[in-house]
């Protein structure tokens, strides 16, 4: 029994409650969900084993393919637009001595608001009667009279814009934290060498915050897989699946169409994809990348 | 003297406590609505509790968005409320198939429920030959119009496609939208319009044949119906001015548009009567209603689409099964209670399909609603009724008919391809015995 009181086990005792909670709330439902992907369960009643039928159907499902394409597009948008803006703003903020806290708060504020609040604000803003749509119509600009959330060509980008607007402040804060940890002597040496502001950013700041930067890219790639709330509230995946994403597709099948088996197959593919991404980052770390 | 008072008060407290504790609780999870909840509490829960000493009804309100899922979870866990309220027969079918609902046959026979309910409404709760659900409310689709506006302009209320297209042109010329309606907040709104076009273009008989498998959904008459809807929706922008606006407008918006003459007409279900009366009543205009126009010679004249709004069943795992049955029987045995509550909602909610006479309709409800109730009874009594999708379509085709209609309106697929997919879903549902009860036509 002595081994139980060894110091190295003490940390384990403290994490046991969390492990139990995770096991019951996440572990067991996840395993059950993986099992359900091989059934035609409706969410109630009998469960029939159907083998890989759900997957065969999924690979032939044009709306599922569309949802995957939208998730990829979403990931690319988030890996570029908010990241670039956040990097630039964080870097500019390091040069502001007075009133910096105001900017930090202002940028971070949308991140603190609930997604449903953010969405309602933007929905009302672009409302065709009460919002900007009504205004543009009244001054004769018909092209801007419709809400971008209900226009097929713009709905995905509009939802991504609102989510990005709420998210980029978070990136500013983590990039800023990284930038404050950079040794000031490096900048002083660069100043002596006559480096420009851009050169200091390119050759000092960016390499020095690389672990945080790569981490931010990793979480963006992973978080772009289950993206749901902004799409669900703003567009519902429509119109005509023009903003459909995989998580919303899963939700519709599980809770609206009573296709829990099929939805579980979608969930399984999402799970495999996330494991793959995490695996790649783990591999890169093992190969000595500073991430 | 003090002792006497104390004894008296104690006796009262004891008797009250005893009566409260002696009652067994009956639970009912009900769809929440800020305007309706107080009325249900006062006129249903409290009235029932005062009317007898055996059971204590407790209604728990929750918005439908979360209630449907939490109900399913609790039922799966063998728990759930004693009275199970669902949004329609397709949900009842799921619970019934899973053995989670009580078979009500013996109670229906004992209390004579079949004789109290409208026959088609009773049969909507019969699955595999047994009764599992009682409609909590039944409804239909109608066309509302701004009567004052129509009179001012000398417009005729349309009854045919030609008349409808004629008046639509005149309305648009005045700078108004033909109809106001929208799907923001409730995407299945599309199915209201699809149902209207299927029933009023192809006709109820053709829809009945397709539901029962005697006709394919790929039949040209259905394709023409949905092509016409697409033309009116996308090309003509009849609903709220454009397809994009229709998607962006919600319940409050379209009522405001109707009340402020932003649009001349509205295609909507009878659940709107209370909101319409209140909304347009403030503007000073008068509203009217009419059956939906016949859109082709196939439709066979005006008809009312029949639909069940919500249903009431008894949980097979109910803690108080007898109490739940008693509540349902009390509702069906007290016509006055049902009429009183339905009147508060202008017969837009809690219209339990009891057999009523003209004399049952109270004078307190608006003349428009009174005339609707009379016309509805007359026309459906003659067998001229159509079928609403949310009552007669199985779960998967029921979602397809509204969710994927957007794809047709977007021009991504043709109506023919859409109906081909739809037929495949019906075939699948039929194979899995997922079809819902449908009343026989004469």
CATH number reported for the structural domain that contains residue A277 in this entry: 1.10.3720.10
Indicate the domain borders of chain B. Answer: 21-139+308-376, 141-305+384-431
CA distance to partner chain B, nearest, from residue A170 (Å): 29
What pLDDT is stored for residue B138 in this prediction? 93
Return the structure tokens found at A114. 């609930």
Q: Report pLDDT for B286.
A: 94
- The single residue listed with the structure tokens 């509204």 is B402
Band of pLDDT at residue B294, cut at 50, 70 and 90 = very high
The total number of structural domains that make up chain A = 1
Alpha-carbon distance A192 to A177, whole Å?
Answer: 25
In this predicted structure, the answer to whether residue A244 has a pLDDT above a threshold of 80 is yes
Q: With bands split at pLDDT 50, 70 and 90, how would you rate the model's confidence at A100?
A: confident
User: Does some domain include residue A206?
Assistant: yes
Indicate if the pLDDT at residue A141 is higher than 90.
no
Which chain B residues touch A240 with a CB distance below 8 Å? 406-407, 409-410, 412
pLDDT surpassing 80 at residue B11: no
pLDDT band at A99 (very low <50, low <70, confident <90, very high): confident
What per-residue confidence (pLDDT) applies to B63?
Answer: 85
Burial A74-113 (b: 16+ CB within 10 A, else e): bbebbeeebbebbbebbbebbeeeeeeeebbeebbebbee
The answer to whether the CB atoms of B399 and A252 lie below 8 A apart is yes
User: Cα(B116)–Cα(B73) distance, rounded to whole angstroms?
Assistant: 33
**Would you say the C-alpha torsion B169, A137, B276, B274 has a positive or negative sign?**
positive
Report the gap between the CA of B176 and the closest CA in chain A (Å).
13
Q: Which of B98, B410, B412 sits opposite A44 (nearest CB)?
A: B98
Q: pLDDT tens digits for B27-84?
A: 999 999 888 999 999 999 999 999 999 999 999 999 877 888 899 999 999 999 999 9
Q: Residue B14's pLDDT band (boundaries 50, 70, 90)?
A: low
Nearest to A240 among B94, B253, B410 (CB): B410
- From chain A, the residues in CB contact with B243 under 8 A are 239
In this prediction, residue B17 carries a pLDDT of 52
B7 pLDDT band, cuts 50/70/90, is low
Is the confidence at residue B10, as pLDDT, over 80?
Answer: no
- Rounded to 5 degrees, what angle do the CA atoms A101, A105, A106 make? 115
| CB within 8 Å: B248 and A150 | yes
Among A244-253, B190-199, B274-283, B413-422, the least confident range: B274-283
In the block, which residue shows the tokens 């379509």? Answer: B393
Mean pLDDT of B414-436: 95
- The per-residue pLDDT of chain B, averaged, comes to 92
Q: For B187-233, write each residue's pLDDT tens digit.
A: 999 999 999 999 999 999 999 999 999 999 999 999 999 999 999 99
Domain pair B21-139+308-376 / B141-305+384-431, same fold: yes
Q: Report the distance separating Cα A177 and Cα A209, nearest Å.
A: 9
Question: If pLDDT is split at 50, 70 and 90, which confidence band does B277 have?
Answer: confident
When pLDDT is averaged across residues B270-297 and rounded to a whole number, the result is 90
Q: What is the pLDDT of residues B115-167, one digit of tens each?
A: 999 998 999 999 999 999 999 999 999 999 999 999 999 999 999 999 999 99
- What are the angstrom distances between the C-alpha of B329 and each of A3, B47, B114, B360? 67, 14, 12, 19
C-beta atoms of B407 and A236 within 8 A? no
Q: Per-residue pLDDT for B417 more than 60? A: yes
Residues in A touching B187 (Cβ below 8 Å): 236, 238
Contacts A242 to B, Cβ<8 Å = 410
Q: Who among A42, A152, A252 is closest to B410 (CB)?
A: A152
HEC states along chain B?
A: CHHHHHHHHHHHHHHHHHHHHHCEEEEEEEECCCCCHHHHHHHHHHHHHHHCCCEEEEEEEECHHHHHHHHHHHHHCCCCCCEEEECCHHHHHHHHHCCCECCCHHHHHHHCHHHHECHHHHHCCEECCEECCEEEEEECEEEEEEHHHHHHHCCCCCCEHHHHHHHHHHHHHCCCEEECCCCCCCCCHHHHHHHHHHHHHHCHHHHHHHHCCCCCCCCHHHHHHHHHHHHHHHHCCCECCCHHHHHHCCHHHHHHHHHCCCEEEEEEEHHHHHHHHHHHHHHCCCEEEECCCECCHHHCCCCEEEEEEEEEEEECCCCCHHHHHHHHHHHHHCHHHHHHHHHHCCCCCCCCCECCCHHHCCCCCCHHHHHHHHHHHHHHHCCCEEECHHHHCCHHHHHHHHHCHHHHHCCCCCHHHHHHHHHHHHHHHHHCCCCCCCCCCC
Q: Are A83 and A220 in contact (CB under 8 A)?
A: yes
CA B126 – CA B122 distance, rounded (Å): 7
Measured between CA atoms, how close is A77 to chain B, in angstroms?
A: 24
Q: Measuring CA to CA, which residue among B273, B288, B293 is closest to residue B348?
A: B273
Report yes or no on A51 lying in a domain. yes
Among A44, A241, A259, the residue with its CB nearest the CB of B407 is: A241
Q: Closest Cα to residue A172, out of A105, A121, A73?
A: A105
Residue A5 is predicted with a pLDDT of 66
The whole-angstrom separation of Cα B3 and Cα B228 is 83
CATH of span B141-305+384-431: 3.40.190.10
Instruction: For residue B253, list chain A residues with Cβ-Cβ distance below 8 A.
Output: 127, 129-130
3-state secondary structure A198-236: HHHHHHHHHHHCHHHHHHHHHHHHHHCCCCCHHHHHHCC
- By Cβ distance, the residue of A44, A241, A242 closest to B72 is A44
CATH of domain B21-139+308-376: 3.40.190.10
CB-based contact B243 A147, cutoff 8 Å: no
Q: How far apart are CA B326 and CA B104, in angstroms?
A: 12
Residue of B nearest to A150 (CA): B244
Domain assignment of residue A191, yes or no: yes
Residue B76: list chain A partners with CB under 8 A. Answer: 43-44
To the nearest whole Å, the CA of A124 is away from the closest chain B CA by 10
Over the stretch A272-281, which tens digit does the pLDDT of each residue have?
999 999 899 8
For residue A257, give the nearest of B240, B395, B406 by CB distance. Answer: B395
In B, minimum Cα distance to A259 occurs at: B396
pLDDT reported for residue B160: 95
Domain-embedded: residue A245: yes
pLDDT at A55 over 80: yes
CA gap B102, B127 in Å, rounded: 12
The pLDDT-based confidence of A1 (bands split at 50, 70, 90) is low
Segments forming the whole domain that contains residue A141: 37-286
Count Cα neighbours of B366 within 13 Å in the Cβ-side half-sphere: 21
> What integer pLDDT is reported at residue B15 of this predicted model?
53
């Amino acid at each position: 029994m002595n081994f139980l009181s060894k110091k190295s086990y003490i940390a384990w005792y403290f994490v046991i409650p969390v492990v139990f909670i995770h096991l019951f709330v996440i572990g067991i439902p996840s395993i059950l969900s993986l099992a359900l992907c091989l059934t035609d369960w409706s969410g109630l009643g009998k469960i029939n084993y159907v083998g890989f039928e759900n997957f065969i159907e999924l690979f032939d499902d044009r709306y599922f393919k569309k949802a995957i394409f939208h998730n990829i597009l979403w990931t690319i948008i988030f890996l570029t637009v908010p990241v670039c803006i956040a990097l630039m703003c964080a870097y500019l903020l390091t040069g502001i001595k007075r009133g910096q806290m105001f900017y930090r708060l202002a940028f971070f504020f949308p991140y603190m608001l609930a997604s449903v609040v953010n969405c309602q604000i933007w929905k009302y803003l672009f409302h065709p009667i009460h919002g900007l749509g009504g205004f543009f119509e009244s001054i004769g600009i018909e092209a801007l009279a419709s809400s971008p959330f209900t226009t097929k060509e713009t709905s995905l980008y509009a939802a991504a814009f609102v989510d990005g607007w709420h998210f980029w402040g978070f990136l500013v804060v983590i990039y800023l934290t990284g930038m404050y940890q950079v040794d000031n002597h490096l900048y002083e040496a660069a100043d002596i060498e006559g480096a420009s502001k851009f050169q200091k950013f390119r050759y000092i700041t960016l390499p020095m915050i690389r672990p945080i930067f790569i981490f931010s890219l990793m979480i963006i790639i992973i978080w772009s897989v289950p993206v749901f709330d902004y799409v669900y509230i703003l567009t519902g995946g429509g119109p005509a699946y023009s903003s459909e994403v995989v998580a919303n597709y899963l939700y519709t099948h599980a809770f609206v169409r009573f296709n829990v088996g099929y939805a579980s197959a979608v969930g399984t593919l999402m799970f495999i994809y996330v494991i793959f991404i995490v695996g790649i980052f783990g591999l890169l770390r093992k190969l000595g990348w500073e991430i | 003297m003090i002792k006497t008072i104390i004894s008296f008060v104690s006796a009262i407290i004891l008797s009250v406590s005893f009566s409260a504790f002696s009652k067994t609780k009956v639970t009912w999870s009900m769809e929440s609505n800020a305007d309706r909840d107080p009325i249900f509490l006062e006129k249903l829960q409290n009235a029932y509790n005062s009317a007898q000493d055996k059971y204590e009804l407790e209604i728990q309100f929750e918005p439908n968005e979360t209630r449907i899922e939490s109900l399913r979870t609790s039922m799966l866990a063998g728990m759930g409320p004693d009275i199970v309220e669902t949004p329609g027969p397709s949900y009842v079918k799921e619970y019934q198939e899973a053995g989670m609902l009580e078979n009500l046959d013996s109670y229906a026979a004992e209390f004579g429920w079949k004789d109290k309910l409208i026959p088609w409404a009773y049969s909507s709760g019969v699955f595999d030959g047994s009764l599992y659900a009682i409609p909590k409310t039944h409804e239909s689709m109608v066309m509302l119009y701004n009567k004052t506006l129509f009179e001012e302009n000398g417009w005729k209320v349309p009854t045919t496609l030609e008349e409808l297209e004629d008046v639509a042109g005149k309305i648009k010329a005045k700078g108004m939208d033909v109809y106001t309606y929208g799907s923001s907040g409730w995407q299945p709104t599309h199915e209201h319009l699809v149902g209207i076009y299927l029933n009023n273009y192809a006709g109820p008989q053709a829809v009945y044949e397709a539901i029962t498998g005697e006709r394919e959904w790929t039949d040209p008459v259905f394709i023409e119906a949905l092509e016409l809807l697409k033309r009116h929706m996308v090309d003509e922008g009849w609903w709220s001015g454009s397809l994009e606006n229709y998607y962006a407008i919600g319940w409050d918006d379209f009522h405001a548009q109707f009340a402020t003459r932003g649009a001349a007409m509205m295609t909507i279900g009878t659940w709107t009567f209370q909101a319409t009366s209140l909304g347009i009543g403030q503007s000073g205009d008068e509203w009217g209603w009419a059956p939906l126009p016949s859109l082709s010679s196939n439709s066979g004249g005006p008809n009312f689409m029949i639909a069940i709004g919500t249903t009431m069943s008894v949980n097979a795992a109910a803690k108080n099964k007898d109490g739940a049955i008693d509540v349902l029987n009390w509702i069906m045995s007290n016509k006055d209670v049902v009429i009183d509550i339905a009147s508060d909602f202008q017969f837009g909610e809690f219209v339990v399909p009891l057999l009523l006479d003209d004399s049952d309709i109270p004078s307190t409800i608006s003349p428009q609603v009174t005339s609707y109730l009379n016309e509805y009874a007359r026309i459906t009594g003659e067998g001229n009724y159509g079928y609403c999708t949310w009552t007669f379509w199985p779960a998967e085709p029921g979602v397809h008919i509204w969710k994927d209609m957007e794809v047709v309106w977007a021009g991504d697929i043709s109506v023919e391809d859409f109906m081909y997919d739809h037929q495949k879903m019906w075939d699948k549902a039929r194979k899995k015995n997922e079809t819902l009860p449908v009343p026989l036509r004469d």
